């Protein structure tokens, strides 16, 4: 492929770039299999809460069938809540050996004994929710589901860190919907305006780079670059860029995508100090991979007043198709306070915007503005994540809350870390790891790999003569291996992102061996005095 074509394709989003690589990888058809390690969709998933979901669905159908029994045409009715606990006990006894029933029984016991919820209310919410027979009420999130999900997020995102007060949740259609809603409402409520500067913790999930640049927002981006020589942590000098009052917000993916490294304690403490000096700073932390980390603490735990937490259930539970996510804000937050201090004309304009849904629009919380804006305000009464989705969210949350030894967490971490180990072993180099490594993704840094295997002289030649995109194209075309370009996520070094979640161990052995074979070929060119190179 010519250099001009490479340059044009390299400007695409890595997810669009990937489609071209897939086409190349599939050219030889049946002669080989394609190994698409560019996609983050995991090939593992949580079984027990899914068994529970379908058994709950069967119980809910039996409840609906109890109504309108005089009609033979298959018409059911909305089940009453009264007596539902006793009817569940009958169902559980009759189906005690069916997968998922014991999980549901434990869930009911947990919400009653550990959370103090009323079982009849919980079961009624679950039955109506899984049948999808009512609009989501409240539209922000079902009441019991919000309490259960909040307890799960407190455990996973806050852990043992001291945390005062409560937080509100908005159930959304995955992390991507959270991003869309947040950018829109931050702009609509004058918290971010065209020309404002925002900081991005780089590398980062590509849409965080692309959305602020759209004509809809026109935000100026300031990059905080993680240093691979520091284990992909941010230096104090980089973090101190946030002290500039011109920077209105800081957007971060933690653990990072694609380095897959969590912020260490020193960085969290330094950020806490910055927030004390910048109490007006808006922080958005996307922590979808936090559940794969050891002893994870979110920025939401460190600076709850300033921080919006975005979490998706997609990767950890193998549920990308379910589209389950949540936005969390502390009950006392900078967003509400900033809106209250807006100039009079802006406040009056916002009051007029939200006046159709509340008699006191000036008191409407930021998170409830998100809900309204997600349905263009006028459709606020039909807002909210579908109720069957919320039921599965509640069951996923309960599954982990009841898993006190973290057996599921240890299992999925073991899967991805073994895959990383065999890939590096096949490449013939030592595995890169550390206490902050999460390993959902891995960056195959061509500069680092080349230096380790062949030395600096080779890397100097390689960097001068070989376009990194050429390596990705050759891997796809010649071997059927698809990786995403690291620079599409804001990495400063030539690299490819490999997902450790979506293939099996033999596939990662093949990827490691294939990358090594290709790099060996480049080294042979270098040793032979290839273009721009000299013999060692």
Q: Are 102 and 59 members of one domain? A: yes
Task: Name every residue whose Cβ is closer than 8 Å to that of residue 214 and which is 6 or more positions away in sequence.
Answer: none
Question: Could you tell me if residue 153 is inside a domain?
Answer: no
**Residues 370 and 518 occupy one common structural domain:** no
Indicate whether 321 pLDDT > 60. yes
Q: What is the CATH number of the domain that holds 107?
A: 1.10.20.110
Strands 35-36, 481-482: pairing is: parallel
- Minimal CA–CA distance to 80: which of 92, 68, 71, 70? 68
Question: Does one domain contain both 263 and 329?
Answer: yes
**Residues 446 and 502 reside in one and the same domain:** yes
Looking at the domain assignment, is residue 394 inside a domain?
A: no
The verdict on 375 and 317 lying in the same domain is: yes
How many separate domains does the chain show? 3
Sheet holding 495-499, edge to edge: 441-445, 495-499, 484-485
Residues 500 and 526 in one domain: yes
What pLDDT is recorded for position 470?
86
Q: Summarize pLDDT for 197-234 with one digit per residue, the tens.
A: 999 999 998 889 889 988 899 999 999 999 988 999 99
User: Within this chain, do residues 119 and 263 fall inside the same structural domain, yes or no?
Assistant: no
Determine, yes or no, domain membership for 402. no
CATH number at residue 441: 3.90.1150.10
Q: How confident is the model at residue 70 (pLDDT cuts 50, 70, 90)?
A: confident
The answer on 166 and 191 residing in a single domain is: yes
Q: Say if 42 falls within a structural domain.
A: no
Q: What is the pLDDT of residue 444?
A: 87
In a domain? residue 154: no
Full residue range of the structural domain in which residue 348 is found: 143-148+162-382
Whether residue 349 lies inside any domain: the answer is: yes
pLDDT at 469 exceeding the cut of 90: no
Whether the per-residue pLDDT at 6 is higher than 70: the answer is no
Residue 38 lies in a domain: no
Residues 282 and 186 sit within 8 Å (Cβ to Cβ): yes
Are residue 342 and residue 428 in the same domain, yes or no? no
Per-residue DSSP letters for 299-325? HHHH-TTTEEEEEESTTTTT-TTT--E
- The C-alpha atoms of residue 479 and residue 138 are separated, in whole angstroms, by 52
Are residues 361 and 350 in contact, defined by beta-carbon separation less than 8 angstroms? yes
Q: E strands along 55-122, which residues?
A: none
pLDDT for 17 equals: 66
The CATH number for 208's domain is: 3.40.640.10
Same domain assignment for residues 97 and 186: no
8 and 59: one domain? no
Rounded CA-CA distance 34/510 in Å is 11
Query: 113 in a domain, yes or no?
Result: yes
Indicate whether 246 and 320 sit together in one domain: yes
pTM of the entire predicted model: 0.92
């Amino acid at each position: 492929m010519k250099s001009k074509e490479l340059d044009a394709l390299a400007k695409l989003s890595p997810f669009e770039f990937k489609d071209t690589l897939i086409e190349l990888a599939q050219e030889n058809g049946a002669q080989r299999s394609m190994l698409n390690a560019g996609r983050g969709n995991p090939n593992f998933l949580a079984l027990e809460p899914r068994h529970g979901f379908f058994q709950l669905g069967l119980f809910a159908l039996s409840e609906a069938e109890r109504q309108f029994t005089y009609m033979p045409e298959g018409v059911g009715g909305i089940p009453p809540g009264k007596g539902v606990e006793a009817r569940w006990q009958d169902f559980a006894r009759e189906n005690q050996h069916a997968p998922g029933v014991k999980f549901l029984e434990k869930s009911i016991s947990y919400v009653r004994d550990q959370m103090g919820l009323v079982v009849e209310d919980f079961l009624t919410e679950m039955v109506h929710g899984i049948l999808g027979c009512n609009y989501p009420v409240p539209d922000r999130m079902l009441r019991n589901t919000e309490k259960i999900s909040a307890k799960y997020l407190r455990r996973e995102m806050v852990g043992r860190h001291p945390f005062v007060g409560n937080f509100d949740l908005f159930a959304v259609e995955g992390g991507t919907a959270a991003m869309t809603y947040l950018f829109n409402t931050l702009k609509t409520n004058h918290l971010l305006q065209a020309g404002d500067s925002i900081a991005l913790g780089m590398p980062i999930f590509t849409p965080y780079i692309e959305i602020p640049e759209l004509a809809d927002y026109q935000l100026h981006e300031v990059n905080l670059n993680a240093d691979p020589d520091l284990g992909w942590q941010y230096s104090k000098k980089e973090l101190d860029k946030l002290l500039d009052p011109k920077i209105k917000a800081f957007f971060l993916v933690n653990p990072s995508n694609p380095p897959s490294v969590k912020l260490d304690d020193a960085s969290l403490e330094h950020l806490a100090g910055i927030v004390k000096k910048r109490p007006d700073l808006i922080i958005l932390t996307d922590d979808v991979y936090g559940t794969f980390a050891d002893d994870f603490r979110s920025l939401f735990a460190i600076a709850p007043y300033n921080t919006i937490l975005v979490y998706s259930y997609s990767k950890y539970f193998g549920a990308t198709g379910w589209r389950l996510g949540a936005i969390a804000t502390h009950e006392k937050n900078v967003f509400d306070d900033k809106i209250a201090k807006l100039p009079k004309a802006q406040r009056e304009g916002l009051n007029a915007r939200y006046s159709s849904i509340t008699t006191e629009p000036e008191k409407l919380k930021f998170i409830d503005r998100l809900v309204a804006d997600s349905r263009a305000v006028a459709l606020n009464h039909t807002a909210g994540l579908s109720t069957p989705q919320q039921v599965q969210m509640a069951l996923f949350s309960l599954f982990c809350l009841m898993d006190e030894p973290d057996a599921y967490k240890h299992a999925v971490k073991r899967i991805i870390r073994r895959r990383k180990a065999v890939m590096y072993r096949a490449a013939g180099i030592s595995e890169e790891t550390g206490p902050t490594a999460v390993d959902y993704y891995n960056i195959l840094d061509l500069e680092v790999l080349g230096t380790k295997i062949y030395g600096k002289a080779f890397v100097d030649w390689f960097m001068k003569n070989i376009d990194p995109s050429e390596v990705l194209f050759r891997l796809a075309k010649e071997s059927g291996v698809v990786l995403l370009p690291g620079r599409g996520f804001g990495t400063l070094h030539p690299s490819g992102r490999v997902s450790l979640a979506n293939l099996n161990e033999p596939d990662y052995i093949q990827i490691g061996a294939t990358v090594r074979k290709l790099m060996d070929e480049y080294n042979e060119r270098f040793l032979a005095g290839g273009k721009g190179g000299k013999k060692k």
